[in-house]
Structure 1
């Protein structure tokens, strides 16, 4: 079942609040609103980019009925920790997957990611929680610096060297007009400013991977805003 069906079957609806991550697509928040409940945004874990269980618990009120976790970029959410929060607070935990079910990790993507992990310098490669298999649907790095201009200048320089890259989450959901909330989610804001998705497709050749490595390492991780 999809998130809407699970929430509806559990009796979640009008007057209820549901904790969701803001650093994600709006799908989880839309599902919550679809059943008549109110999405409440909580911060992410800086390592996994998924909903931080402590932040989720801090967002719980007397009206909270559920927590919706979203696996991001191929890294699963910390469902065991969220389940412990749910037990303490009497909540439902739902995993929201955009395409109906989690995708199985692709061994070639994992091999390509391992290659990048071993060779990249100047950017912070994606950490993986212990005991977790990262699917690397996106290979998301952090570009060191003091905010958006540094990451964006780095991305422009990569593209000029023939390396495709993209900002994985352009705007956190709590800053989108349809869901706008006046709140500060520190790790969410930081990720939105410094994260960049590098190519890691399963059909990439070793030469293409080396082009990514060479371009990133040549840039040194930080460029002036005017670059």
Structure 2
């Protein structure tokens, strides 16, 4: 059953609000609209880049009917924390795209995790993905933060990487609440910070040791900050 059908089966529609992340694609917000409800945007946790339960709790109104977490980049949202918020308020939690169940990892996922571990241990001058006991991460996308003056430094860093032959991309160009179709006058501090700082580096299973070494060498040579040309 798809997200729209799940919402409809729960009786969620016109007049209802569903809390979704803005730091994501617009797919979750669009599913809410297709069900006839209104998407309400809440801020993210700076480590997981997924919905922050405390921010969700602050965004609830009398019209809130559901919470819709989105698992990003291979990192799982805090479902336990979100369900605790939902249970207190009689809401339901609908995962936009359920996280793959824990089980035997395929070879590509193992390679990505190994590549990510290599990068985590060697990269300097960038903030690597938060990890720790109990944190599941399949590294579908390897997202770092570029410290400094937000978007200008991140964009300059990305241009410098590409000029030196290292692939990279901006994982979320514009938060959903800034898109014309969903525009809201909100200030979501962690969402804005992530949109300005985050950069996706290559971590795919096909990378060779030489390519991984080059990613590290180029990033570390840049030192995390690249000045704009005068």
* CA RMSD after TM alignment: 1.4
- Which residue number corresponds to residue 20 of structure 2? 20
Which stretches in structure 2 are left out of the alignment for 5+ residues?
A: none
For each residue in 1:17-38, what CA deviation from the matched residue of structure 2 results, as whole angstroms up to 9, or x when unmatched? 0000000000100000001000
- Which residue number corresponds to residue 187 of structure 1? 190
Given that 1:48 and 1:128 are in contact with CA atoms closer than 8 Å, whether structure 2 keeps it comes out as no
Q: Secondary structure at the match of 1:66?
A: strand
- Which residue number corresponds to residue 174 of structure 1? 177
Q: Within 5 A, what are the aligned runs for 1:133-148? A: 133-148=136-151
Q: Secondary structure at the match of 2:215?
A: helix
Q: Residues of 2 paired with 1:8 and 1:226: CA distance?
A: 53
For each residue in 1:140-163, what CA deviation from the matched residue of structure 2 results, as whole angstroms up to 9, or x when unmatched? 000001111100000000001100
TM value normalised by structure 1:
0.96
Residue 223 of structure 1 and its aligned partner are, at CA, apart by 1.3
Q: Residues of 2 paired with 1:85 and 1:129: CA distance?
A: 24
For each residue in 1:164-218, what CA deviation from the matched residue of structure 2 results, as whole angstroms up to 9, or x when unmatched? 0000000000000110001100000000001000000001000000010000000
Q: Residues of 2 paired with 1:184 and 1:60: CA distance?
A: 16
Q: Within 5 A, what are the aligned runs for 1:31-42? A: 31-42=31-42
Q: Secondary structure at the match of 2:31?
A: helix
Q: Within 5 A, what are the aligned runs for 1:1-227? A: 1-97=1-97, 102=100, 106-128=109-131, 130-226=133-229
Runs of 4+, deviation exceeding 6 Å: none
For each residue in 1:128-147, what CA deviation from the matched residue of structure 2 results, as whole angstroms up to 9, or x when unmatched? 35312201010000000111
Residue 2 of structure 1 and its aligned partner are, at CA, apart by 1.5
